[in-house]
Structures are given as C-alpha cells and as structure tokens.
Structure 1
C-alpha cells in the first residue's frame, strides 16, 4: 500500500515513451533491421509495436517474450496497493528487432489499427502513412476518441492525403473537429508542404516531418514555440537530414530511411513524479538514473528550482541523439510560488499536474501560463488537478488557459477522500505522490498507470522500504 514517505534510494524509470514511439515508427519505415533497446513495456508503446506489425513490419522481441506475451502481462492492481512481484508481471523494458518495409512501403492492414490510449501512436501513424497509397481505419479507446485529430490531419491533407469519418469524407473546414475513429488514406503523389502550425505540438511536427521525408519536394514547418525535438534528433540516425532555416525545420523529400540501432533513455517525465515526491516528503532523497536530459524535456527542473526545490543534474553521456545522466532531489521544507512563461508551456505540459502539486505546498500564488492544452490529454487534466488539489484543501482554479494555485505551505484536509483520475495515468501518479507526501487521499483505478509505467507502485514502495 502506498503510504507516507520518506523515499530514499535510486530508481531507474521506464524508457522514454516519446523516443520509443519514434524509434519503432522510423525502424518500420526503414530498409533493413533496426535494434531498439530499453523500450518501455507500457500499453502505449505496445500499441505502436502492434500497429507497425499490422502494416507489414516484422517485430521480434529479444528473449523468451513476444509482443503478445508482453501485452497479456500486467501486474498492476486496481487500487493503490503495490503489486507483489510475480512471474506473470510485465518486465519494465524489452529489446525489439524491427525489420522495416523500406521501399516496398506499408501494406493495407487487415483490421483497424487500435492505438489504445496513445495519441502519439494515432497521430504519428498518419504521418507515416501519408506518402503511401494505403488506407487504414485508425481507432482507440474511449479516452483517445475524445482527443482532437484535425490538427494533424490538416497539414497531411494539404500534402495529398485524405481522411473520412462516419463513412464520409471530412470537409477541409471541419478538419479541426475531427476525432477517432477515422479512415486515413495516403497518396503516392503526396507533395511537400510549407506549414505554420497555430499550436506548438511535437506530434503535429513529427507527423509532418515523417511524411515530408518521403513526399515529393521540400517540407517546411514552424510552430509558435519550440516543442520537444526527438523527431528531428532521431531522423538523421535513420539517414534523413533535418535543417533549420530561419527558425523553420526543413526536410527534403524522396529520402530512403536506413536501419539504425537506438538505445532509449529513461523517461524524464516519469522521473518527475519521484523527484516531486522527494521534494515534498520529509527525510527523502531520490536519484533517478540513466534519464534523458534533452533540454526540451527537463524544463520542469527549472520550474522546481524557481520554487526553491533541492534538485541537481549530473550529465553522464552525450551522444548524437540524446544526452543522458542522473537527476537527484531532496526534501525541501520551504517552497515559494512561481509563475511560468507562456512560451514554456509546450516543454512542461506533461509535468504541470505534479508541478501544481508541488506549488500547492509553496507559500504564495503560483500561475502556470498557457496550459490549456491539458484539456486535450487523456482526460481534462486541468479540471482533474483542480479537483485533486481541492481534496487537499488547496484553492486552485482555471483562468482562461492558465492554472492558478494558491499555496499556503501546507495541506489542510484531514479526512481520507477518494480521488478518481478518470483513467489518466499522470493524474493517478500525481495523486499517489500526494499520498506518499502525507495527503489523506485514496486513488481509485490506479491500474491506469500501466499506460506509461506498469511498475510505478512497485518502485515507489521499494523507495519507501
């Protein structure tokens, strides 16, 4: 059972989902066999692996397991009790060999491509399919079906792809309202596009760059503020040059991806929950090892630093793709409020829920600017974090696209209260961090953490032992 801390020791969180998705998709597009190690055995990543298999890539798992075997294992309970280790538990990571379809292209799948809860899978798959004469029905679970897909479909349709929903072609002026399930059809005549995205989104950017690498001509992309840059870092490993010209990303089409070996570092977003728990729990000190230190993914550390949190970073390995190192955090008895820059929102969007939890223990009013995109995640995360903080006796509210948290240096609620994360893994982990830090809250449906981190409860319990 997750209980009050302290948390002490080292933890190796699962591999970075964002990098894992991209590595699997690029390996599927490539000529030859790629080896990808450190893949997290999460539901989201397994959804991508199954999707590329359905499209013709050959995926084999090193060792005794298979994709089907990994998908059947879980070990995650339905409440916030830590699971006991068992032979049937899903391993934290696996290595895959992916033989891509290369110049032959993907095949038309025999069944719908079920992306589960993974928006990255659904959106990037459209970019992969856009330059090929392949048609696929893309779907997902109830949560994913509520998340907008038009933001990705719009530039891809401008390149020559087409999309239909409910059996009829989607009108161009209605694309922003597009949701799953949808039927996506690529085109061998797809052409490059010059696209100015109205939102900062790594998923939109990635879909456009992946499609542009095979489409005819040149593709150029811009966004209001930089989003995570894993795609532009990884494409050169697979033989595709990505240039920056006048603040725009540019890729030349007609390229042939070649197989590459990729090592997936630990996910900094997953590490954020243990680091926050250490900051909030008296007597705690936690070190997350082997973590990706991509500057676009660890901006949350700057926010914690501005609140006075005791955090430090040690770089250990720098490669052509992703820097890697360790992050350490320790209990911080006095925290101060913070106001984030609107331009930072794309870089901290996944960590805002747990940052808001830390801010609720600070003195003063914190404001997280321009985080309205949280409404379009696995749940309405803005409403979810406001609800969770309310259970802790903290005043928090939405002000337009901003999140306001009125910290008083403590939590006042004393009676144990249930919190439902509405199937959202990041809200569930945020609530579990609150519980570890002494909050009187029980977390319903903690099993949803398996979307990104099946062993989260086990690792938290180990750090408390």
Structure 2
C-alpha cells in the first residue's frame, strides 16, 4: 500500500505538434470490474476478452479477488476467471489493497462483510481521503461491524456476517453503493430491500450493474423507483465475455485535438449503448460545435475535467448536474478549475458544475501543476501541456485507466 503521496513524482512534458490525433481506448474498467466479481462467484470458468491494456484499477480488483482464493489466468488478450461458486471466497490472510480504485473498495466492502472474521481493506493516499459512508453504513444496517482508521476512513476493518434486511441508501453522490449491494446478492441467504433517497446520479453505471447481473440470473430490477428488491442468485456467466472500450477516455483525445486545432480519429470506439453516459462525446466529435454548449453530466461526471478544458479551449459554455464530481479522487470541480488556471484558462465554478468563455489560449504554467493524485486531472493537464509544455505532479497516475496514455501524447 502507498501510505503517503510521493512528492517527488513529477512528470515534465515538452511541447510538441500534432498534425492529427489518433486515439486508442483502453478496456472499460466499469464493465470489466463487474464481470470479474460476478465470474468469481460463478462455478465455471469465464473468459473475459478485451483490446488494449487493462488499467491499474482493473488489476486492483483482480489482485484482491485472487487474495480471496480465486484463480485468474492473465494473457495479453483475455483473462480466465476460475469461479468457485457463491461460497468460494476464502478468508484472506493479508490486507486487501485497493490502491487507487474506489470502485474496487466499494464493491468489496459488502463482499468481505460476509466473513465472520475481520478483513482489512486499504488503498493509496487518495483512497484513504475519500468518504465511503454510504457503503459502510449500508452493510452496518445488515449486521456488519466496521472499524475505521481514526474514525475517518480506510483502512477499514470489516467483519460480518450479514443478514437479510432493509437498507436506506442515499444515491445522490454515487451509484456505486447501490451497485455493490446488487453484486452482493449471490452471497446473501435472503433478500435485500433497498430504499433509495436523493436524486440518483451516475444512473447509467447503476443500469450497467443491473444489466450485467441480469445476464447472470439476477431478478433485481431498477426502474428509477425508490424501492429495489435484490434476491439471492447463483451467477451463471457466459463462457466468453467481451469488454468494450472505455468511451470516456476519448475525452482526452478531444482535448488533445482541440488544443492542437486538428482532427480526431477514435480507433476502437464502442457502440453508443456501451458508453455509460459518455456517448455525448460522439455528438461533440462529429458535429464540431462552434457555439456555446450546455452539457449535462448527471450520468457521466468523470468527463468534467476534460470537457471543462474542451469548452475553455473551444466553444465555451456551461456544465450542469455534476455536483457529485466533488466526491471523486479529488473535488473535481474546484481542482479542475485550479488546474486549468495554471494554463491561463479562466473557468468559473457553479454550484453544480462550471461556466467558461471559449477560445481561450493556453500558456505554459509558471509552477508545477498539482493534480492531487487524480488520473483524469493529470490526463487533461498533460494534453494541454503537450501544446504549452509544463510539469505535473503524480507521475504514473494515468496507469489507473490507460497504461498507453504516454505513447498517445508523446512523452515517456
């Protein structure tokens, strides 16, 4: 585990010229992490195929699942998950390190709560600073005991067992706690009743969980009603699963093409139905808007850093319904504005997003740009720095989602 931030990890980027931008998308971590977890609870082997290199968040989930006793055979083009059934997880004899992956930690919190003995979940410094109360509170309602470091967060010591029951869940800051309860279903002895409160966000990610679970036998239905019933089921996964590419990563190609005033070609763009909200990028890439835009990121707040930069460099406009971006690796609204200001780009903060004038000209930062351990802040800043030059903190953080990112923008 990375207890402390590496203050000396600085990435310097030299300015370069792009005649055009060709962008390759890494595998979707949202799809792959869900399939890894469900396949591990199946009683058969599941082959998960993909193009490109899985990011570190995917590896974090796989590493934790392996510590729970599941065998995963990894090759360059596919991983074989050798599931052991709904009771196949064994008590780990070491800490489960989720590293930078909030998804992994949220999904594993209820899974390890099925053990009667304590299990410790930890992560890097960014994950230790994140607040996951909705996840821990939900399993406490089902009978788990959760001990937090200094009463604040990770590392967590969690023990069960869990009992069927009712959970009141606030889904106004994240949908992952709801997804984690759906994926808990196979381990439960009876139903979980979930009553949601607040305006749900990241709805496409929640819908993805219900859809994948349904493909393996779940009867849980989510139709934006407050009450959801999750019945136990035995996952029956397909023998072969193909992971789509992560469309949200195309946002960085868009920033790169915009700052260099050139064309963008996405090599392996997924079907829009697999975009998990990021399909709004298709309209931007294809239509090349010149007038101010109004963008709704209720279901895709991960796009906020890149689209804020795009609007400032391009047509200008307003991003709305993205207040839940404040609860990511960093407060993505305020930290995005701070990061862009280093490049001389002025963006105003709004209650639920940002507002910016367009066609601004970036300049080389006078100081090192702090990206606060947030891979999407780093990747956005790096794309701008490819035009201006600059130095960024948290070298290597791009590996969380896109190990090939340096090759795409021309630094090593």
The TM tier, using the shorter chain, reads 0.7 to 0.9
Residue 46 (structure 2) aligned to one of 13, 34, 56: 34
Separation (CA, whole Å) in 1 of partners of 2:135 and 2:100: 17
Residue number in structure 2 paired with 1:289: 268
Structure 2 residue corresponding to 1:20, chosen from 32, 45, 64? 32
335, 342, 346: which one pairs with 2:290? 335
Q: Counterparts of 1:186 and 1:249 in 2: how far apart (Å)?
A: 24
Unaligned runs of 5+ in 1: 63-92, 168-176, 313-331
Residue 278 of structure 1 is matched in structure 2 by 257
Encode CA deviations 1:363-412: one digit per residue, 9 max, x unaligned: 55x3323433333222232232112221222222434x333333241225
Shift of 1:111: 0.6
Q: Match of 1:311?
A: 286
- Report matched runs for 1:229-248 at 5 Å: 229-244=207-222, 247-248=225-226
Alignment partner of 1:211 is 2:184: yes
1:197 corresponding residue in structure 2: 170
Q: Distance in 2 between matches of 1:443 and 1:265?
A: 30
| Residue in structure 2 matched with residue 422 of structure 1 by the alignment | 372
Change (3 A) 1:415 1:281: same
Counterpart Cα distance in 2 of 1:311 and 1:277: 16
Partner Cα distance (2:224, 2:295) in 1 = 27
8 Å CA contact 2:333–2:353 kept in 1: the answer is yes
1:81 counterpart residue number: none
d(CA) in 2 for partners of 1:245, 1:377: 25
Contact 1:106 1:129 in 2 (8 A): no
Distance 1:290 1:398, change over 3 A: closer
Point out where structure 2 has 5 or more consecutive residues left out of the alignment: 1-12
Q: TM-score, normalised by structure 1?
A: 0.76
State the 1:231 CA deviation: 1.1
* CA spacing shift, 1:245–1:9, aligned 2, 3 Å: closer
Q: State the TM-score, normalized to the length of structure 2.
A: 0.85
Distance 2:257 2:157 in 1: 46
- The answer for the alignment partner of 1:443 in structure 2 is 392
Matched, 1:360 2:312: yes
* Residue matched to 1:171: none
C-alpha distance in structure 2 between counterparts of 1:442 and 1:122, whole Å: 31
Aligned mate of 1:371, from 322, 327, 350: 322
Large movers: runs of 4+ above 6 Å: none
The answer for the alignment partner of 1:99 in structure 2 is 82
Helix, strand or coil for the counterpart of 2:329?
A: coil
> Is the CA contact (8 Å cut-off) linking 2:250 and 2:266 kept in structure 1?
no
**How far, CA to CA, are the matches of 2:315 and 2:217 in structure 1?**
50
Task: Tell me how far apart the structure 1 counterparts of residues 384 and 224 of structure 2 sit (CA, whole Å).
Answer: 44
Change in 2 beyond 3 A, CA 1:166/1:395 = closer
Aligned match of 1:113:
96
Work out the CA distance in 1 between the residues paired with 2:160 and 2:401.
30
Give CA deviations for 1:326-354 in whole Å, capped at 9, x if unaligned: xxxxxx5x73333344xx42x22111000
Tell me if structure 1 keeps the 8 A contact 2:326–2:332: yes
Q: Indicate how the Cα distance of structure 1 residues 227 and 204 shifts in structure 2: closer, same or farther if over 3 A, else same.
A: farther
Q: 1:418 deviation in Å?
A: 3.3
Q: Tell me the SS of whatever aligns to 1:102.
A: coil
> How many residues are paired up?
392
Give distance in 2, aligned partners of 1:310 and 1:259. Answer: 35
* Preserved contact between residue 375 and residue 381 of structure 1 (Cα < 8 Å): yes
Match of 1:180 in 2: 154
